[in-house]
Structure 1
Amino acid sequence: MTSATDDKTIVRDYFNATGFDRWRRIYGEGEVNKVQLDIRKGHQETINTVLGWLQDDGNLADLKICDAGCGVGSLSIPLAQAGAQVYASDISEKMVGEAQERAAAELSPEQIPTFEAKDLEQIGGRYHTVICLDVLIHYPQDKAAGMIAHLSTLAESRVILSFAPKTTFYSALKKVGEFFPGPSKATRAYLHAEADVVKALTTQGWQIERKAMNKTRFYFSRLIEATR
């Protein structure tokens, strides 16, 4: 069985090489193929859902937020634009560099998040809200549970996670190679049973507050907000 360390190495190497160019295009605004456009739309729906939750609470400008696995800044930048104090990290140095460039182009100097290339489990500090989107798909459940436990030590009031749900239908799609189509596939795609993710959260003292499901043809993301 592949070790968690191997998974991290694979993720880091992928997003610092071929994966970086692929996902930078997907998360950007330029021309992409139909599959990539579908994934872009799905990912943006997840970003919009999280932003909607935070904006509905009416205190976003007062919050200190950690965006763990920030990618190219798709969430970090609008959070900073809304007035939040944002710390953002990613395992990929190239992703962090791209996020810094985009933030510098879109934000005023005082709004720019603190960006850092760092393993998720090396993140320190204390934050009102910790958010981790589209990261758990790269790791098996035992490793994901450890990540959730660590993120929980950083969060004072709320954790928001997304994951690819493990259902009979999505498992079948994954088996026939349709979950992440295309010649430049991502790392191993791990599906997670919602009950396992909920257990990992409640074990850390969290209560489930809100849920959402965003899906397109090639993108599937279950969102869970936990509070205490």
Structure 2
Amino acid sequence: MTSPSYAARRGQLETYFDRTAVEAWSRLTSDAPVSRVRATVRAGRDAMRETLLSWLPADLSGRRVLDAGCGTGALSLEAARRGATVVAVDVSPTLIGLARERTGAIAGGGSIDFRVGDMLDPDLGSFDHVVAMDSLIHYSGHDIARALAELGGRTRGAMVFTVAPRTALLTLMHAAGKLFPQADRAPAIVPITTRGLARRIAREPDLAGFALARTHRVNSGFYLSNAVELRRCGSSADPRRAPSPVPARVGAAGPEGGAR
């Protein structure tokens, strides 16, 4: 069951991504020319997407993947090209509409089911893997842990996601972000320390079967983001790729509060 704070923030995100900054995010997630600042954000998002995808099996045939907060569907498309059956969900009908327009024929045998709704909706079913790129960073530590617990109960393998770090650099980025037009600002992100995240995860009984496998930070201009992998104990990484190093820090943040 989601908390009132989760529901309130979800409503703010729906308003922002569906009505306030549609044009800005449409350009950012395309190959259209953007400002120098947004170019660094785009590069950072591309790098983060590649990181999260690299943590999934190279061959996703027969696997069911949830793209939680899929935005315009770039990550969903790459997972489907590896053979995955992807359920791609977002609160914004406009972003889902863009995703459907941009997704043509899929080579590789996979498929994408784009849906408008809540990423925690139990009716979405169970999954082999869950990906949540920059879709949890706007929520409190308590709501992040509860969201992971709800998703974990329906995840057979790994959950890969991003969280917002509490750093001096991020504080400066927040201040600079306030200089952008109001229409271009997403709802504020909620930073959380590594220890804080670990403590909250440890308190969730539904996450007892998961272990923090690795993290990786992406820093590109106005994009500062850390990927985190929670892997169900007993599930193994794809044997066809070498394991990635595990950096010491955990956290994540997007431009002026996030990117889709």
TM over 0.5: yes
1:48 aligns with 2:46: no
Give 2:72's aligned amino acid: V
Measure the CA separation in 2 of the matches of 1:3 and 1:201. Answer: 18
Query: What displacement does 1:181 show?
Result: 5.7
Q: Secondary structure at the match of 1:99?
A: helix
Q: Secondary structure at the match of 2:61?
A: helix
**CA distance 1:110–1:101, shift in 2 (3 Å):** farther
1:35 aligns with 2:37: yes
Give 2:180's aligned amino acid: G
Name 2:90's counterpart in structure 1: 90
Q: Given the two structures, how large is their TM-score scaled by the length of structure 2?
A: 0.78
What is the percentage of aligned positions where both structures have the same residue?
A: 26
**CA distance 1:201–1:216, shift in 2 (3 Å):** same
Query: What displacement does 1:138 show?
Result: 1.6
Q: Secondary structure at the match of 1:145?
A: helix
* Matched residues, number: 222
Residue 180 (structure 2) aligned to one of 179, 182, 203: 182
Query: What displacement does 1:177 show?
Result: 3.1
Contact 1:69 1:133 in 2 (8 A): yes
Query: What displacement does 1:145 show?
Result: 2.0
Q: Which moved more, 1:159-168 or 1:191-200?
A: 191-200
Contact 2:72 2:95 in 1 (8 A): yes
Q: Secondary structure at the match of 2:120?
A: helix
Contact 1:149 1:200 in 2 (8 A): no
Q: Which moved more, 1:77-86 or 1:137-146?
A: 137-146
**CA distance 1:181–1:53, shift in 2 (3 Å):** farther
Q: Which moved more, 1:5-14 or 1:199-208?
A: 199-208
Query: What displacement does 1:62 show?
Result: 3.5
Q: Which moved more, 1:121-130 or 1:194-203?
A: 194-203
Contact 1:65 1:85 in 2 (8 A): yes
**CA distance 1:28–1:148, shift in 2 (3 Å):** same
Name 2:246's counterpart in structure 1: none
Contact 1:136 1:190 in 2 (8 A): no
Name 1:197's counterpart in structure 2: 197
Q: Which moved more, 1:107-116 or 1:37-46?
A: 107-116
Give 1:182's aligned amino acid: F
Measure the CA separation in 2 of the matches of 1:192 and 1:164. Answer: 6
Name 1:17's counterpart in structure 2: 19
1:30-53 Cα deviation digits (max 9, x unpaired): 111111111111011000111222
Q: Given the two structures, how large is their TM-score scaled by the length of structure 1?
A: 0.89
Give 1:91's aligned amino acid: V
